Amino acid sequence: MNASTKAYEELLIRLKNTALLASCSAVLEWDEQTYLPPEGAEHRANQLALLAGMVHEQATNPEIGNLLLELESNSSSIDDVFEQANIREARHEYDRATKLPRRLVEELSRVATLSHHAWVQARKNNRFKDFLPWLEQMIDLKREQASATGYQGKNAYDALLDEYEPGATSEMIEQAFIPLRNELVSLVSAIKNSGVTPDTSILTRKYPVEKQREFSVSAAEAIGFRFDAGRLDIAAHPFCSGIGPGDCRLTTRYDEHHFPGAFFGTLHEAGHGIYEQGLCKEHFGTPLGSSTSLGIHESQSRMWENLVGRSHAFWDYFYRPAQKLFPEALGNVDQGAFYRAINDVRPSFIRVEADEVTYNLHIMLRFELEKALISGDLKPADLEAAWNEIFFEYFGITPDTSANGCLQDVHWSAGLIGYFPTYALGNMYAAQFFIAAEKELGDLSQLIARGEFVPLKEWLNQNIHQRGKLFRANRLVEVVAGESLSHEPLIAQLQNKYSELYNL
- Contacting residues toward a copy of itself, per CB under 8 A: 17, 20-21, 23-24, 27-28, 31, 35-44, 46-47, 50-51, 54, 226-231, 233, 243-248, 284
Of the candidates 439, 454, 451, 226, the one whose C-alpha atom is nearest the C-alpha of residue 319 is 451
Taking the complex as a whole, the smallest distance from the CB of residue 40 to a copy of itself amounts, in Å, to: 3
Taking the complex as a whole, the smallest distance from the CB of residue 266 to a copy of itself amounts, in Å, to: 16
Nearer to a copy of itself, 91 or 226 (CB): 226
* Cα distance between residue 122 and residue 101, in whole Å: 31
Which are the contacts of 48, defined by CB distance < 8 A and separation ≥ 6? 25, 28, 29, 32
Taking the complex as a whole, the smallest distance from the CB of residue 247 to a copy of itself amounts, in Å, to: 3
Report CA-CA distances (Å) from 352 to 176, 238, 259, 265, 423.
Answer: 22, 11, 15, 10, 11
3-state secondary structure of 198: coil
Nearer to a copy of itself, 41 or 350 (CB): 41
E strand or H helix at 232, and its extent?
Answer: strand 230-234
The residue from 269, 305, 368, 384 that is catalytic is: 269
Taking the complex as a whole, the smallest distance from the CB of residue 23 to a copy of itself amounts, in Å, to: 6
Handedness of CA 448, 451, 455, 460 (dihedral sign): positive
Burial of 179 per CB tally in 10 Å (0-12, 13-18, 19+) = middle
Nearer to a copy of itself, 277 or 474 (CB): 277
Which are the contacts of 222, defined by CB distance < 8 A and separation ≥ 6? 451, 453
Which residues on adjacent β-strands are paired with residue 241? 249
The yes-or-no answer on residue 269 being catalytic is yes
Instruction: Say if CB 325 and CB 210 are below 8 A apart.
Output: no
Taking the complex as a whole, the smallest distance from the CB of residue 459 to a copy of itself amounts, in Å, to: 23
Nearer to a copy of itself, 47 or 404 (CB): 47
Residue 347 backbone zone (phi > 0: left; psi -120 to 50: alpha; other: beta):
beta
Taking the complex as a whole, the smallest distance from the CB of residue 28 to a copy of itself amounts, in Å, to: 6
Type of residue at 223: I
Query: Quick one: angle between helices 81-99 and 41-59, nearest 10?
Result: 120
* Cα distance between residue 66 and residue 57, in whole Å: 15
Taking the complex as a whole, the smallest distance from the CB of residue 208 to a copy of itself amounts, in Å, to: 16
Which residues on adjacent β-strands are paired with residue 233? 251
Nearer to a copy of itself, 38 or 331 (CB): 38
Nearer to a copy of itself, 47 or 463 (CB): 47
Report CA-CA distances (Å) from 492 to 35, 43, 198.
Answer: 43, 51, 22
Taking the complex as a whole, the smallest distance from the CB of residue 373 to a copy of itself amounts, in Å, to: 37
Nearer to a copy of itself, 54 or 78 (CB): 54
The DSSP result for 10-65, as a single string, is HHHHHHHHHHHHHHHHHHHHHHHHHT--GGGHHHHHHHHHHHHHHHHHHHT-HHHH
Report CA-CA distances (Å) from 1 to 6, 9, 79, 422.
Answer: 6, 10, 16, 42
Nearer to a copy of itself, 25 or 375 (CB): 25
The residues that are catalytic are: 269
